[in-house]
Amino acid sequence: MALQDVCGLHNSPLFPQWSAPLSRSFMPENSTHLSGGGIHGEAFSTRLPGRGGLSPLEFYMPIAEYLTESPINFGQTSLTSAPTKLLEIDHLHPSLPSISLPPPTPFPVSPSVPLPFTLSHGTTTLGFAFQGGVIAAADTRSSCSGLVACPASPKVLPIHSHLVGTTSGTSADCALWKRILARELRLYQLRHHRRLSTGGAAKLLSHMLHPFKGTELCVAATLCGWDGDDEKHEQPITEKHANTPTNQMTASNSIVRSRSRICGPRVIYVCSDGLRLQGELFSVGSGSPYAYSILDSSVYWGMSVQEATEVAREAVYRATYRDAYSGNNVDLYHVTAKGWRRRERENLKEEYYREKERERRVIAY
Amino acid sequence: MEYLIGIQGPDFVLVAADNVAASSIIQMKHDYDKMFKLSEKILLLCVGEAGDTVQFAEYIQKNVQLYKMRNGYELSPAAAANFTRKNLADYLRSRTPYHVNLLLAGYDETDGPGLYYMDYLSALAKAPFAAHGYGAFLTLSILDRYYRPDLTREEAVDLLKKCLEELNKRFIMNLPSFTVRLIDKDGIHDMEKLPHVSFPSPPQTSD
């Protein structure tokens, strides 16, 4: 089709490459391959832009085969009469150093091993924006089917100085993807001399997760951040935003209610099935309905930092009270123009007993 | 659970979409805009599976804009609709099909207004009126009964309101508000969100 040729849209490649520059190919001379240890090399190929970058944004892209293999099979040699998948990988990525493989072991490995236990994605996380910045809060219970695997896991992970992300879903996936996102944001910052906005970070994460749609990857994150200007770099004020306060790292209470496009608090929900929503209040996880009911009635834009902390803590507490998969402690982060600040982790058991004591006293009188 | 509707008049197209972004039983957003502006006079309304909608619609949006940058003139609505359909069809039998239902509405200088209905199997049909979602079952017969090719703008808005009233009455889901836009030779106009308006409002030029 003429239109396709003009747009450079070729017949759909085997896997959609969102950031693919038109000249995308696996040319060894263009790519600097970071060869890690191990027999399988790296699970991705990174391209360091030698000459000003081939495309506007280069980021992590997964290798095709790893999307179709079950994660349990990762790293196992499969017994087949056909040539092993490892050799196919070599063929598709000539940038990989040629490695000599041991002959496939004659173990009877079934092609797709089911997961040994059902994973439940239980958690309560929330994030909301108000005049004083952004509050991100979460419980700390990592559950695995009916077992509490870890009572003190951090579910709010800082990504950079002005961005934290709450995680929900599979803990390992969330931790990994947060690190990948942090790396890509840092690379962006180094290349372009400014921090990527929260919306940009959300879009980046969403596009990086898109190839894994349909697999068992499960990440539901709320990115809570403050978009502002770096100290060294002043953004030019366009006419549209001439009346909004920009490029000032002022105290948070001078931010106007009408959201400026350039700087201010941001909360964006990103999900591994592709949903990406910007808003003012999100709660994610199995305990989210309980948290929503507390937050919807109490959160308003003009609340103070003290109030906001109280409400967030209360919401997580109520959710842990009702939801079996949320519990233990509550982590709370507050993001302002100056960066994020972490409130000390609080054990909700104390709060539970305090409430029981209050009730007991009320009944007694 | 999502709803799209489009009505074509003699020199305009009226489109509306609900504003709810839901995730299982929770309404995550009440003011979500499901319309994507492809060009000055073309809107793409997109519903379907959670991530596919935005990914596919933005892909089409950026490619249409790229065409304009490369060639200096914009794609016509018919061309954009066929381009969209071709992409849907190409991905349909790949490993990653897009499960999206679309309405494409646009105004062309030579051909006039056009409304194109596309579904996730990449069927394409140019229609005088169309709707997507469970709400379509309830509202298509209203459109069948009252639609005329020479509707005025006010009459089209009235017809739209009839449909939304029916949804409020009989549809099991609560869809509190709808974004309404009108496309004519002057471009895309935002109209007041329904159903808060109690009398028909003339289109306000905002672009």
A120: left (phi over 0), alpha (psi -120 to 50) or beta: beta
CB of B65 within 8 Å of any CB in chain A? no
Residue A131, token pair as written in the block:
């005049």
pLDDT at A350 exceeding the cut of 80:
yes
What is the band of A13 on the pLDDT scale with cuts at 50, 70, 90? very low
Q: Scanning every residue of chain A, which has its alpha carbon at the shortest distance from the alpha carbon of B88?
A: A12
Q: Which CATH number belongs to the domain containing residue B45 in this structure? A: 3.60.20.10
Q: What's the one-letter identity of residue B119? A: D
Predicted pLDDT of residue A355 = 86
pLDDT at B83 exceeding the cut of 70:
yes
Predicted pLDDT of residue A8 = 54
Separation of alpha carbons B81 and B127, rounded Å: 12
Q: What is the DSSP letter of A175?
A: H
Shortest alpha-carbon distance between residue A28 and chain B (Å): 27
Q: Which residues of A are catalytic?
A: 123
Q: What is the mean pLDDT of residues A149-174?
A: 90
Q: Do B90 and A279 touch (CB under 8 A)?
A: no
- B202 domain residue, yes or no: no
A195 vs A74: which has the higher pLDDT: A195
What is the band of A211 on the pLDDT scale with cuts at 50, 70, 90? confident
Predicted pLDDT of residue A345 = 84
Q: What is the DSSP letter of A76?
A: P
Q: At what angle do helices A198-209 and A171-192 cross, to 10 degrees?
A: 130
Structural domains in chain A plus CATH codes: 3-77+111-364 (3.60.20.10)
Predicted pLDDT of residue A306 = 92
Predicted pLDDT of residue A106 = 44
Q: Do B71 and A279 touch (CB under 8 A)?
A: no
pLDDT at A287 exceeding the cut of 50:
yes
CB contacts, 8 Å: B91 with chain A: 12, 16
Closest Cα partner for A339 from A178, A184, A161, A206? A161
**Average pLDDT of chain B to the nearest whole number:** 91
Q: Scanning every residue of chain A, which has its alpha carbon at the shortest distance from the alpha carbon of B66?
A: A7
What is the band of A23 on the pLDDT scale with cuts at 50, 70, 90? very low
Q: Do B86 and A4 touch (CB under 8 A)?
A: yes
Q: What is the mean pLDDT of residues B133-150?
A: 93
Beta bridge partners of B187: B184
What is the band of A80 on the pLDDT scale with cuts at 50, 70, 90? very low
Separation of alpha carbons A260 and B194, rounded Å: 26
pLDDT at B145 exceeding the cut of 90:
yes
Q: Do B79 and A3 touch (CB under 8 A)?
A: yes
Predicted pLDDT of residue A276 = 92
Beta bridge partners of B6: B15, B130
Separation of alpha carbons A71 and A75, rounded Å: 9
What is the band of B80 on the pLDDT scale with cuts at 50, 70, 90? very high
Dihedral pair phi/psi, residue A224, rounded to 5°: -115, 115
Separation of alpha carbons A308 and B148, rounded Å: 54
Q: Do A274 and B55 touch (CB under 8 A)?
A: yes
Shortest alpha-carbon distance between residue B165 and chain A (Å): 27
CA angle B11, B124, B140 (to 5 degrees): 65
Alpha-carbon dihedral B47, B50, B53, B54, rounded to 10 degrees? 130
Mutation to test the A interface, candidates B19, B23, B32, most A Cβ within 10 Å = B23
Q: What is the mean pLDDT of residues B71-93?
A: 94
What is the band of A61 on the pLDDT scale with cuts at 50, 70, 90? low
Q: What's the one-letter identity of residue B26? A: I
Q: Do A274 and B52 touch (CB under 8 A)?
A: yes
DSSP H or E segment with residue A58: none
Q: What is the mean pLDDT of residues B77-87?
A: 95
- Listing DSSP states for chain B in one string gives ---EEEEE-SSEEEEEEE--EEETTEEEESS---EEEEETTEEEEEEESHHHHHHHHHHHHHHHHHHHHHHSSPPPHHHHHHHHHHHHHHHHTSSS---EEEEEEEEETTTEEEEEEE-TT--EEE-SEEEESTHHHHHHHHHHHH--TT--HHHHHHHHHHHHHHHHHH-SS----EEEEEEETTEEEEEEEETS-SS--------
- B78 domain residue, yes or no: yes
pLDDT at A107 exceeding the cut of 50:
no
Q: What is the mean pLDDT of residues A42-59?
A: 43
A327 vs A185: which has the higher pLDDT: A185
Predicted pLDDT of residue B32 = 93
Instruction: Choose the weakest-confidence range: A68-72, A206-210, B69-73.
Output: A68-72
pLDDT in tens, B10-34: 999 999 999 999 888 888 899 999 9
Q: Which of A94-103, A243-252, B18-27 has the highest mean pLDDT?
A: B18-27
Closest Cα partner for A283 from A294, A275, A274? A294
Separation of alpha carbons B90 and A7, rounded Å: 15
**Which chain A residues have any C-beta within 8 angstroms of a chain B C-beta?**
1, 3-4, 6-7, 9, 11-12, 14-16, 18, 206-207, 210, 213-214, 269, 271, 273-277, 279, 282, 288-289, 292
Positive or negative, the CA dihedral A286, B48, B34, A195 is positive
pLDDT at A54 exceeding the cut of 50:
no
Domain count, chain B: 1
**Average pLDDT of chain A to the nearest whole number:** 71
Helix (H, G, I), strand (E, B) or coil at A226: strand
- B149 domain residue, yes or no: yes
A145 vs A287: which has the higher pLDDT: A287
The whole domain housing B137 covers 4-195
Residue A216, token pair as written in the block:
């068992």
Nearest to A3 among B55, B83, B95 (CB): B83
The strand pair at B187-194 and B129-132 is best described as unpaired
pLDDT at A68 exceeding the cut of 70:
no
Q: What is the DSSP letter of A44?
A: B
What is the band of A67 on the pLDDT scale with cuts at 50, 70, 90? low
pLDDT at B185 exceeding the cut of 70:
yes
pLDDT in tens, B48-72: 998 899 999 999 999 999 999 999 9
- B68 domain residue, yes or no: yes
pLDDT at B207 exceeding the cut of 60:
no
- B176 domain residue, yes or no: yes
The size of the A-B interface in CB pairs under 8 A is 67
Predicted pLDDT of residue A75 = 46
CA angle A207, A209, A211 (to 5 degrees): 90
B125 vs B25: which has the higher pLDDT: B125
Predicted pLDDT of residue B202 = 53
- Long-range contact set of residues B137-142: C-beta below 8 Å, sequence gap at least 24: B138/B163, B138/B166, B138/B167, B138/B170, B138/B171, B139/B5, B139/B163, B139/B166, B139/B167, B142/B166
Q: Do B29 and A279 touch (CB under 8 A)?
A: yes
Strand ranges for A228-279 from DSSP E: 264-271, 276-279
Separation of alpha carbons A190 and A212, rounded Å: 27
pLDDT at B184 exceeding the cut of 50:
yes
